Amino acid sequence: MSEADDFLKVAHAAREAAAELAPLPRAAKDAALHAVADALVDRVGEIVEANALDVAAAREGGTTETMIDRLRLNAARVADIAGAVREVADLPDPVGEVVRGNTLPNGLELRQLRVPLGVVGIIYEGRPNVTVDAAALCLKSGNAVLLRGSSSAYHSNTALVRVMQDALKGTEVPAGAVQLVPGTTRESVKHLMRARGLVDVLIPRGGASLINSVVEESTVPVIETGVGNCHVYVDADADLDLAMEILVNAKVQRPSVCNAAETLLVHAAVADAFVPAALARLAQEGVTVHGDERVAAYGEAVVPANEDDFGQEYLSLDIAAAVVDTLEDAVAHIRRYGSAHTDAIVTRSQKAARRFVALVDSAAVAVNASTRFTDGGEFGFGAEIGISTQKLHARGPMGLPELTSTKWVYTGDGHLRTSAGTVIAGS
């Protein structure tokens, strides 16, 4: 069989499993998740063994030790992964929630219910733990999942999916609900992206180039995630000490994540007071500043910024910086260069805060807080499948409800629609 045939087989199996899984009550799904967690712990040997093949191949291929560490599984890490699955089991079930509902003037009872999306495709890089995390979130929300991880983790992912499928066999959740996309070629991703009608939504998790290629090529609806060029804007009315702490926290606390700050904008009125201090503090924190001319005037260590710097997601100890004349100029800069993830204002002015919130069109706007709080865990969602930076369906951190759609149900007594209004049959 060709890879395309293999893919279709797996996708059809997921589709059938999705139909079986969708109406299952919470107890059945939670029991299945606990069975998965148990199996991961029981069969840790087999998982770590498969992972060792990936690690050896990565080492042979000259992968950096940092990346190898992200890839590596051991007993403690597998136990953590199993623990995360149990946490997902503990979360409320989004399926069946009545989102809206009322009795219409004609007596029809109308309800809008949460239902699973169906089959969710996840394309991801990096760590094999995503294989289990994503599967657990999809199962809990009643969805079958097609997983397409990094080819560098193929042995690990194959073992993890095998263990999960075996565990599901003893439960009410069909084993077919968790599937690994067969193959490690670029073609195998394409099959997934072109599987309109079989796959209901694709969620790419990874760098900008992965996400852009999925968005461009997919005929399956996509939820874009995770690219974050986050801004910290220090307003004319900012408490400058607060601004400094927020800036440093947003940039330095974890520079490799999408909600870390990548650009500093400073109002001209406080530039003299703030920029030199910020340059000194950022240097002390090991951060390289890529500044426009007005920022560069304050310090010799400033690297001249070009257009690319302002559009960049560094994910490193680098930050772009510019001085702006007005709040509106800061907003225009964010609109032009930003990725509409999270942008923060530091200000004491209620008016400035309101205006910034109204004008900045991003998934999240922070007022006097670090951009690092844009996160499903911090927002109290309990778990997160990613952070959407698009406007359709879900925007910002996505928890379990974002993995659902809705269904309208209306119930009558023989309600008929006529040009003169509703008539009830037989009455």
Touching its own copies, residues 376-395 (CB under 8 A)? 378-380, 390-393, 395
277, 329, 368, 382: which one binds its own copies (CB under 8 A): 368
311, 315, 335, 382: which one binds its own copies (CB under 8 A): 335
- In the complex, least distance from residue 355 CB atom to its own copies, rounded to whole angstroms: 8
Tokens of 65: 């030790």
175, 268, 277, 357: which one binds its own copies (CB under 8 A): 357
The answer to whether 409 contacts its own copies (rule: CB under 8 A) is yes
Quote the CA–CA distance of 56 and 191 in Å, as a whole number: 29
230, 366, 398, 400: which one binds its own copies (CB under 8 A): 366
Crossing angle of helices 129-140 and 75-90, rounded to 10°: 20
- In the complex, least distance from residue 396 CB atom to its own copies, rounded to whole angstroms: 5
Can you tell me which residue has the tokens 């706007």?
365
Subset of residues 7 to 26 that bind its own copies, contact rule: CB under 8 A: 19, 22-23
Closer CB to its own copies, residue 68 or residue 99?
Answer: 99
Quote the CA–CA distance of 138 and 224 in Å, as a whole number: 17
Subset of residues 246 to 305 that bind its own copies, contact rule: CB under 8 A: 246, 249, 253
Q: What is the DSSP string of 319-334?
A: EEEEEESSHHHHHHHH
> Is-contact 254 367, C-beta < 8 A?
no
CB-based contacts of 243: which residues, under 8 Å, 6+ apart?
Answer: 232, 234, 274, 346
The answer to whether 374 contacts its own copies (rule: CB under 8 A) is yes
Closer CB to its own copies, residue 299 or residue 412?
Answer: 412
- In the complex, least distance from residue 418 CB atom to its own copies, rounded to whole angstroms: 7
The answer to whether 418 contacts its own copies (rule: CB under 8 A) is yes
CB-based contacts of 113: which residues, under 8 Å, 6+ apart?
Answer: 96, 97, 98, 99, 406, 407, 408, 409
C-alpha of 137 from chain center: 12
Quote the CA–CA distance of 403 and 405 in Å, as a whole number: 7
The answer to whether 365 contacts its own copies (rule: CB under 8 A) is yes
The answer to whether 425 contacts its own copies (rule: CB under 8 A) is yes
Stretch that binds its own copies, among 40-48, 66-74, 84-92, 241-249 (CB under 8 A): 241-249
130, 230, 334, 353: which one binds its own copies (CB under 8 A): 353
The answer to whether 407 contacts its own copies (rule: CB under 8 A) is yes
Quote the CA–CA distance of 425 and 6 in Å, as a whole number: 51
Subset of residues 101 to 140 that bind its own copies, contact rule: CB under 8 A: 102, 104-105, 108, 110, 112, 115, 117-118
Closer CB to its own copies, residue 208 or residue 373?
Answer: 373
The answer to whether 396 contacts its own copies (rule: CB under 8 A) is yes
Stretch that binds its own copies, among 41-49, 54-62, 130-138, 412-420 (CB under 8 A): 412-420
Quote the CA–CA distance of 98 and 92 in Å, as a whole number: 14
Stretch that binds its own copies, among 28-36, 273-281, 311-319, 364-372 (CB under 8 A): 364-372
> Is-contact 261 374, C-beta < 8 A?
no
- In the complex, least distance from residue 388 CB atom to its own copies, rounded to whole angstroms: 10
Question: What 3-state class would DSSP assign to 23?
Answer: coil
CA-nearest of 309, 314, 321 to 278 is 321
